[in-house]
Structure 1
């Protein structure tokens, strides 16, 4: 700040130095003016000027320091009160711009909330014909056609469900209900939902749940497991998907292992990034790059850690590590 202050005042400092230098030069060439006296006056002037700069530095930089430390929020209480006409102009301009930004932000927020409500309403409206369609598919006698229709219906159902949970993620903290949950019921329910897809691809499940009770939210945990199972089924061919639950260092873990194509090691750090699909299969259209991103976001407030290990051509293992009960107690004061 000192350097900035001196740089801002450099023209005045140079003017003062030039005036003192001119006075000394005139006293030097004009014998009628005592040079020693003029030198003494210049010394006192320099001393007085230094004291003046010292006090002006603290007075003038107080306002600009507050601007420098301001976190660019819309709260102007952090900005120091102006003490000069120019500072008043700056504060007035900032205040007017902030008021405009607040109004625009409020309008955009209302618009986004309205769009979110409209989308959620649309999703719920679509569920009615989806249910009717499922009943109609159940009456189809052609087995091949019925299987194909069930698969397409499931794809639409999963996409709608993904959109629904994506919009609710912004207020997930208001929607959580932490309780003791049986993993077995959730896992089997999700597998049953995707049964037609698994039959069509010739995929089976090898399930071994040694530890079944976890502390979590049933709805959001189902959503997370659904994303892992969707990925496992999507990128697997005729093979089994292995689901294991076990206890490790006092923490319950759930593994979902497939024997699909696997993930390149260079892609693993980015698989939870929004929109990231793959570098090895970049032109592929089936991947949206949103499932694992949403699963990760939903897992954070549930204190669930997601870890993925994979090798190209050898499959992928996604591990959910559930929190211990005392972690929720410390977080929520239960």
Structure 2
């Protein structure tokens, strides 16, 4: 800031220096003017000028230092009051622009909320014909056709469910209800949901739940497990998916282990990034890169940690680490 101040005032500083040099030059060439007193006056003038510069620096830069420290938010309370006409012009311009941005932001938020409400309403409306379609599929006699229809119905159902929860994630804190939930019930319900898909791919389940009750939100925990199961099924062939829960040092863990194609080690740090699919099978169209991202986002407010271990061709192990009871003190619903 000092350098900026001096750069801004360099013309005035040079003018003062030129005037002092000019006075000394006149005293030097004019014998009638005593050089010593003029030199003394110039020295005193220089000291006064330095003091003046220091005073003006702290006074004139206070406003601009507050702008420099301003976090570019729409809160102008952090900006110092202007003390000069030029600072007033700057402050008025910033205030007007901020008011316009606030109005635009408010309008955009309203539009986004309306779009979200419309989408949620549409998703709920679509569920009605989907339910009717499921009943109609159940009456199809051709088992091969019935299996294919069930699989496509399930894909639509899971995609709609994913969109529904993605829109609700922005206000998940308002939707949480932490309680003792039955892990076994949730796991078996989610397996039943994807049963037709598993039958078609020849995938079975090996379930061993030593811990059946965990402290969490039933709806969002179901969503997380659903994303992890669909991911495991999608990238597995005929094999068993192991699901086991256990306790270590008073903390509950849930493992979902598949024997699928695995994940390249260089992809592991990015699998929870939105839109990331794979560098190994980059042209694969079935993957959307959204399931694990949503699972991670939903797990954060529940204080659930998701860890993934995998190797190419050796399957993938996803571990959910549930928080201890005293870690939920700050969560709503307790």
Normalised by the size of structure 2, how large is the TM-score? 0.98
**What is the match of residue 61 of structure 2?**
61
Work out the CA distance in 1 between the residues paired with 2:249 and 2:91.
58
**What is the match of residue 209 of structure 1?**
209
Work out the CA distance in 2 between the residues paired with 1:22 and 1:287.
79
**What is the match of residue 46 of structure 1?**
46
Q: How many residues align?
A: 334
Q: Deviations over 1:74-133 (max 9, x none)?
A: 111111111100000001100110011011001100000000000000000000000000
**What is the match of residue 74 of structure 2?**
74
Contact kept? 2:24, 2:39, Cα under 8 Å: yes
**SS of equivalent residue, structure 1 residue 241:** strand
Work out the CA distance in 2 between the residues paired with 1:29 and 1:139.
117
Work out the CA distance in 1 between the residues paired with 2:153 and 2:286.
16
**What is the match of residue 122 of structure 1?**
122
**1:87 aligned to 2:82?**
no
Change beyond 3 A, Cα 1:69–1:333: farther
Contact kept? 2:211, 2:247, Cα under 8 Å: yes
Change beyond 3 A, Cα 1:60–1:306: same
Q: Give the Å deviation of 1:15.
A: 1.4
Q: Give the Å deviation of 1:32.
A: 1.7
Higher alpha-carbon deviation: 2-11 or 206-215? 2-11
Q: CA RMSD in A?
A: 1.0
**SS of equivalent residue, structure 1 residue 68:** helix
Q: Give the Å deviation of 1:325.
A: 0.5
**What is the match of residue 218 of structure 2?**
218
Q: Give the Å deviation of 1:26.
A: 1.9
Work out the CA distance in 2 between the residues paired with 1:333 and 1:224.
19
Higher alpha-carbon deviation: 52-61 or 132-141? 52-61
Q: Give the Å deviation of 1:332.
A: 5.4
Work out the CA distance in 2 between the residues paired with 1:284 and 1:333.
42
Q: Deviations over 1:197-224 (max 9, x none)?
A: 0000010000000011100000000000
Work out the CA distance in 2 between the residues paired with 1:258 and 1:18.
83
Unaligned runs of 5+ in 1: none
**1:12 aligned to 2:18?**
no
Work out the CA distance in 1 between the residues paired with 2:96 and 2:77.
14
Work out the CA distance in 1 between the residues paired with 2:258 and 2:266.
19
Unaligned runs of 5+ in 2: none
Work out the CA distance in 2 between the residues paired with 1:264 and 1:240.
21
Work out the CA distance in 1 between the residues paired with 2:312 and 2:260.
9
Work out the CA distance in 2 between the residues paired with 1:242 and 1:11.
78
Q: Give the Å deviation of 1:257.
A: 0.5
Q: Give the Å deviation of 1:54.
A: 1.1
**What is the match of residue 157 of structure 2?**
157
**What is the match of residue 97 of structure 1?**
97
**What is the match of residue 307 of structure 2?**
307
